[in-house]
Each structure stands twice: as C-alpha cells, then as structure tokens.
Amino acid sequence: MRVVIAEDNVVLAEGLNLLLASAGFEVAAITGDGPSFVAAVARHAPEVVVVDVRLPPSFRDEGIHAALEVRRRRPGLPVLVFSQYVEQVYARELLADGRGGVGYLLKDRVTRLEEFLESLRRVAAGGTALDAEVVSQLLARKADPLADLTPREHEVLTLMAQGLANTDIATRLVITERAVHKHIGNIFLKLDLAPTDPGHRRVRAVLTYLGL
C-alpha cells in the first residue's frame, strides 16, 4: 500500500518511514511542508496519506489545509492526520464531507505502534479512526454554541452581525477599541474558530450567531 507522509520533524518522519516499511507499506515520499506534500500526492497517487496538522512556516494549520486540498483534488483519498493537541475546528472540518477514510490521532498514539498501524489500515480501507480524546472533546461541545459567551460578548457579536466595525462597536458600547478587540478574540476562541483568516473568522462567528 503506497503512502505519502507530511512531517517536518526529521526524527519522527524517519521513524514513521521505518515503521510503515517494516509493516509492508510503500513510503513513496516524505515531505516537510504543505505545498510539497500536495505535489507529492499528485505525483505518486498514494492510497493513503499521513499528515501532521502543524507544518512550516507558521506551524499552525498548514498540514490540515494541505490534507483538505488533496481531498478536494482526489475526493475520498484516505487521510490520517495527527497533532500534539486536539484541534476541534480542524477535526470537524476534516470530517465534514462525510466520505470516510479519515483519521485524527494525537501524536502520542503514534508511539503505540500496533494501534497506529491498525488505525492507518482502517482509514486506508475507507473507515474512520478518531482518537478517544478527540471524540470526547467533540461530544463535549454544548448544543448552544453561544452558551459560553458573556453578556458583553453577546453584545459585541450582535453588533458584529449588524455589520459594525470595531471602532463603531466601541462607540456604541462606550468602551475602548482595544476592549472590543479582546472581546472578539474571546468570541473566536469560545466558538472554536481557528486563527487562519481574521476576516473569515468574523464571518463564521456571525453565521454561528445567526444559526447558519
């Protein structure tokens, strides 16, 4: 079974290479960033890919975006991603198309060799492999996504939904623009909106407020 790996940590990448090769997988390429990973997938047509969520240059979400891109180009391509922490937004985004062939594991799971290999085989076969901690945190989300917002954060989000800019919100609520910025940051955090595109996050926050 042919595999392409996206992992910038040389030691971990080589460990994955040796592990997969010894288990009968063919490691077609090991890449260290999103663009080279996307190119390698196009070149080698793997049957499954393994991707670290955080890749250069920002080490934030390049890996997951690369994984979503290869799934867009090859719908249903089995993807197993792993991360140091549970990234709820990214986990939901990866699962959103409902096609299967998706895995999301925490990095310490990679050290449990048989469990990792079993998860990779399940994903390659079109199944789903989710770390128990990922499942726990996804299920723990409240039915009302706005439930954790403070009254002031609700006011700020209401004015955002009306299209007001930060300066106008500060004037309306008689607070500083810096305070508005802080409230909006808290709103993004509580709504699990990843810091990839501030403008996009603002729109998504409003859509959540509107129940869309």
Fold for the domain defined by 2-139: Rossmann fold (3.40.50)
Rg of the Cα atoms in the chain: 20
What does the pLDDT read at residue 130? 77
* For the chain, domain boundaries: 2-139, 151-209
What does the pLDDT read at residue 59? 84
Fold for the domain defined by 151-209: Arc Repressor Mutant, subunit A (1.10.10)
Alpha-carbon distance of 164 to 169, in angstroms, equals 6
Alpha-carbon distance of 80 to 101, in angstroms, equals 8
What does the pLDDT read at residue 98? 60
What does the pLDDT read at residue 100? 73
Alpha-carbon distance of 63 to 53, in angstroms, equals 4
pTM over cut 0.75 = no
What does the pLDDT read at residue 127? 81
What does the pLDDT read at residue 97? 65
Report residue 18 as tokens: 């040796």
CA angle (86 as vertex; 1, 96 as ends), nearest 5: 65
Q: Let me know: does 83 contact 112? Beta carbons within 8 Å.
A: no
Q: Let me know: does 83 contact 54? Beta carbons within 8 Å.
A: yes
What does the pLDDT read at residue 161? 82
Q: Let me know: does 172 contact 185? Beta carbons within 8 Å.
A: no
172 Cβ contact list (under 8 Å, min separation 6): 159, 164
Alpha-carbon distance of 23 to 33, in angstroms, equals 25
Angle between helices 151-161 and 166-173 (to 10 degrees): 130
Q: What are the mean pLDDT values of the chain's consecutive 10-residue runs (212 residues total)?
A: 95 93 96 96 97 88 90 92 76 70 81 86 85 65 76 91 86 94 91 69 78 59
Angle between helices 34-44 and 62-73 (to 10 degrees): 30
What does the pLDDT read at residue 104? 86
Helix (H) or strand (E) segment spanning residue 210: none
